[in-house]
Amino acid sequence: MTAIRHDYASVNGIRLHYAHSGEGPLILFLHGFPEFWYCWKAQLEDLGRDHLAVAPDLRGFNLSDHPAEVKQYKARILIEDVRQLAEHLGKGKFVLVAHDWGGAVAWGYAMAHPQTLSKLVIVNSPHPVTFARELAHNPAQAAASQYMNLLRSDKAERVLSENNYERLAKMTLEGWGRGAVDPAQKAAYIEAWSQPGALSGSLNYYRASPLYPPIGDDPGAKALHLDPADFMVRVPTLVVWGMRDQALLPGNLDGLEVCVPDLRIERLPEASHWVMHEEPERLNRLIREFVGD
């Protein structure tokens, strides 16, 4: 295992904190909600043996800057953060690995800048075309995603921070399916969530996105009409999916090959949404096998 170090980069008008290990070809890891760089610790330690493995805190999270305006979390801005960070790291073509909201950014990045990527690895994060379809036409996915409307609401900060972030802990740390929560790990997450502006910054990903389930008179994703031809990913792609994910259902994999012609899908029957925490060694092996092809 390699030592993990920390640095900052000024990109796209903000300052991003990032953890990194090792030297060599760049492999960049993007976390989701409500995580931070730490969720990739096992990957940084392993992949850093023969790569420059880098995991930033995305805009709005933990030690990175937290712009207050929702419009600062639009997809094109998040994608540009990644482009400029990769340019700052200066390693040419790179591998992009991403989970959850990081995956949403990575799908968009791969569409916009395929020439900069050698491989793409997505972990439990739906492509926008399949997710829009499932939200609009699969009642089970619409029901499973109702939490998104809470996270988009004005009361989200209050509800999630009550009782020392009890609800966020239940959504994440207590849902990893591996027994008791590690006290040190829980303390690290609460510290990240408690950074001034971080909770609102992370929630603004939901508020800025047009992909959410219908609520009341708001059609949500039903108002979208996405043409797959406009959302093509022309990068060799591995999708790893924990099949026990209760928020993002396996229907999001159906028809994915229409938008991702060079596609492999690895289904993990015993894993949930939190693959990096539940099966880190297996995920490391899958990444290594795919990157080494």
Q: pLDDT digits over 37-46, tens only?
A: 999 999 999 9
**pLDDT value at residue 105:** 98
Q: Please state, in angstroms and rounded to a whole number, the distance separating the CA atoms of residues 285 and 68.
A: 39
**pLDDT value at residue 176:** 77
Q: Is the peptide bond before 34 cis (omega within 30 degrees of 0)?
A: yes
Q: Give the burial string for 60-93 (b: 16+ CB within 10 Å, else e).
A: bbbbbbbbeebebbbbebbbbbbebbbeebebee
Region of 216 please: left (phi>0), alpha (psi -120 to 50) or beta. left
88 tagged catalytic: no
- Nearest Cα to Cα of residue 128 among 224, 48, 198: 224
The answer to whether residue 13 scores a pLDDT higher than 70 is yes
273 tagged catalytic: yes
- Confidence bin at 1 (pLDDT 50/70/90): low
What's the token pair of residue 148? 């998104």
- Confidence bin at 172 (pLDDT 50/70/90): confident
> What length does the chain have?
293
Q: Tens digit of pLDDT for each residue in 19-42?
A: 999 999 999 999 999 999 999 999
Find the catalytic residue in 127, 206, 212, 277: 206
109 tagged catalytic: no
Find the catalytic residue in 31, 51, 127, 273: 273
Q: 130-144, 177-191, 218-232, 264-278 — which is least confidently predicted?
A: 177-191
Q: Is the pTM of this model over 0.85?
A: yes
What domains can you pick out in the chain, each with its CATH number? 5-291 (3.40.50.1820)
Find the catalytic residue in 100, 165, 205, 245: 100
